[in-house]
Amino acid sequence: MNILLLGSGGREHALAWKLAASPLTDRLVCAPGNAGIAREAECVALDIADHAAVIAFCRANRIDFVVVGPEAPLVAGIVDDLEAAGFKTFGPSKLAARLEGSKGFTKDLCRTANIPTAAYERFTSAEPAKTYVRRQGMPIVIKADGLAAGKGVIIPQTLAEAEAAIDMMFEGGLGAAGAEVVVEEFMVGEEASFFALCDGETASPLASAQDHKRVGDGDMGPNTGGMGAYSPAPVMTAEITARTMAEIIVPTLRAMKAMGAPYKGVLFAGLMITKDGPKLIEYNARFGDPETQVLMLRLMSDLLPALIASRDGQLKSFDLRWYPDSALTVVMAANGYPGEYKRGSVIGGLDAAAEIEGVEIFHAGTKADGNKILANGGRVLNVSALAKTVTEAQARAYLAIDRIEWPEGFCRRDIGWQAVKREKSGG
Ligand code: AMP
Ligand code: GLY
């Protein structure tokens, strides 16, 4: 088959790595890709926001199956457009992608379907939102309704900060994403990322992971797109996983189908495991980044037939196999990230790093210049490792990182610390 993968991050490199290994793949093309993906696939400079250009490329290149990585094209309806043009595509329709594209939509769905989540209200202007915040008191969470590239959630320290966040959103600080605001209860617990593959009818649990969103060691400093992750998440016991499926994922699928927007693709639930059980923080309509890097390392089965079964509504009799091992990934980012950073510095030592047993390096913001690999983004590399324990996977990843020569970059030195602590204390 001829496969087209859309995207250019570490998530897409991990997907490309698995798709390239499938015996069903004849040709793998990635748009736009990066320097690491270029080792697994042909990279083409297509603007994936231009759906007509993507369709024309599929026609000209006899593409049999399209896999969409990031959320923006999904929310913009690229799956609907490709399918209407006759191209089989993995991912949710525009209506189904509202689970990520509108937090208000998802909260209302939770209310109707009785799915455990934080108590909330939706607002379209500042004054009623502020009145609600004052009535609820602190702590509280303020969220922009739409896609805001990770900047749409504010957890204020004071009432004044809460009111300022509401004003910022309604004054257009996050563009159209902030035209509506959700104010919700602050939940206490341990977070986990949970992934299920869906075909509109059936949900098949994939695996769990935990990511580290803060830029600094000890989970300090500003939020980022994710500085590292590991899988499985120890907090996702068999019992919590079963409850997540029964109380959150399955009712969501049923509700989406009932409203005529059946959900196909990967459903990524951001969960808070509270003392009362799992509660939904938010949904994403795609694979996680950097969670996919650890999921793909642990996936034993061929990924491609699973994605096709999701698209074709054939997941019912599908079984995916996973290595019982732990996977861990450490993100290397350009100095300054998540603030301002420079592009174009040279990264050395990648081949020596990749020689370490169990290690795979997935690229995010990189580009090739002859034989050189240059940094070309904020999050640049995902140094990933598979091993029997998280402790060992962590040791392997950092051993690899110590072979990478890139003074213009940095990483956290404590990715996986909660799981390592659990392993050291014997469970
Ligand atoms: P994201 O939407 O991925 O930028 O991340 C939002 C982050 O904010 C989550 O990962 C949580 O850490 C936190 N968060 C969001 N909603 C809540 C909530 N209701 N209670 C507590 N923490 C929250
Ligand atoms: N790692 C969180 C995300 O992909 O949104």
pLDDT tens for residues 239-288? 999 999 999 999 999 999 999 999 999 999 999 999 999 999 999 999 99
- pLDDT, residue 239, reads 97
Sign of CA dihedral 102, 212, 159, 115: positive
Instruction: Tell me, in angstroms, the distance from the centre of ligand 1 to residue 326's CA.
Output: 25
Q: Quick one: tokens of 156?
A: 């204020």
- pLDDT, residue 381, reads 98
Instruction: Tell me, in angstroms, the distance from the centre of ligand 2 to residue 150's CA.
Output: 8
Task: Choose one of 281, 282, 289 to mutate for the ligand 1 pocket test, by most ligand atoms within 8 angstroms of C-beta.
Answer: 281
Q: Is the C-beta atom of 289 inside 6 A of ligand 1?
A: no
Ligand 1, atom 3, residue with closest C-alpha: 150
pLDDT band at 74 (very low <50, low <70, confident <90, very high): very high
- pLDDT, residue 318, reads 87
Q: Is the C-beta atom of 270 inside 6 A of ligand 1?
A: yes
Q: The pTM is what?
A: 0.96
Query: What is the total residue count of the chain?
Result: 427
CA separation (Å) from 183 to 179, 210, 224? 13, 25, 21
SS3 of the chain: the string is CEEEEEECCHHHHHHHHHHHCCCCCCEEEEEECCCCHHHCCEECCCCCCCHHHHHHHHHHCCCCEEEECCHHHHHCCHHHHHHHCCCCEECCCCCCCHHHHCHHHHHHHHHHHCCCECCEEEECCHHHHHHHHHHHCCCEEEEECCCCCCCCEECCCCHHHHHHHHHHHHCCCCHHHHCCEEEEECCCCEEEEEEEEEECCCEEEEEEEEECCEEECCCEEEECCCCEEEECCCCCCHHHHHHHHHHHHHHHHHHHHHCCCCCEEEEEEEEEEECCEEEEEEEECCCCCCHHHHHHHHECCCHHHHHHHHHHCCCCCCCCCECCCEEEEEEEEECCCCCCCCCCCEEECHHHHHCCCCEEEEECCEEEECCEEEECCCEEEEEEEEECCHHHHHHHHHHHHCCCECCCEEECCCCCHHHHHHHHCCC
pLDDT band at 317 (very low <50, low <70, confident <90, very high): confident
Alpha-carbon gap, residue 323 to 103, rounded angstroms: 34
| Residues at CB less than 6 angstroms from ligand 2 | 211, 226, 284, 288-289, 291
Looking at all shown ligands, the one closest to residue 268's CA atom is 2
In the chain, what is the straight-line distance between the N-terminal and C-terminal CA atoms, in Å?
Answer: 44
- Tell me the average pLDDT of the chain: 96
- pLDDT, residue 228, reads 98
Average pLDDT (325-335) is: 98
Alpha-carbon gap, residue 381 to 227, rounded angstroms: 10
Average pLDDT (203-227) is: 94
Percent of the chain at pLDDT exceeding 70: 100
CB 352 within 8 A of CB 403: yes
- pLDDT, residue 235, reads 94
Looking at all shown ligands, the one closest to residue 286's CA atom is 2
- pLDDT, residue 30, reads 98
Q: Is the predicted pLDDT of residue 401 greater than 70, yes or no?
A: yes
Instruction: Tell me, in angstroms, the distance from the centre of ligand 1 to residue 192's CA.
Output: 11
Instruction: Tell me, in angstroms, the distance from the centre of ligand 1 to residue 381's CA.
Output: 25
- pLDDT, residue 211, reads 94
Summarised one tens digit per residue, pLDDT across range 174-191 is 999 999 999 999 999 999
- pLDDT, residue 150, reads 75
Alpha-carbon gap, residue 270 to 146, rounded angstroms: 16
Q: Is the C-beta atom of 182 inside 6 A of ligand 1?
A: no
Q: Which domains does the chain have, with CATH numbers?
A: 2-94 (3.40.50.20), 119-185 (3.30.1490.20), 190-317 (3.30.470.20), 326-425 (3.90.600.10)
Average pLDDT (27-33) is: 98
Index of the ligand 1 atom closest to the CA of residue 151 = 4
CA separation (Å) from 27 to 20, 23, 39? 8, 11, 13
Alpha-carbon gap, residue 340 to 181, rounded angstroms: 27
According to DSSP, the residues that pair with 208 across neighbouring strands are 194
Ligand 2, atom 5, residue with closest C-alpha: 288
Q: Is the predicted pLDDT of residue 151 greater than 90, yes or no?
A: no
Average pLDDT (387-394) is: 98
Looking at all shown ligands, the one closest to residue 183's CA atom is 1
- pLDDT, residue 427, reads 61
- The 140-144 sheet, strands edge to edge: 120-123, 181-185, 140-144, 153-154
Q: Is the C-beta atom of 281 inside 6 A of ligand 1?
A: yes
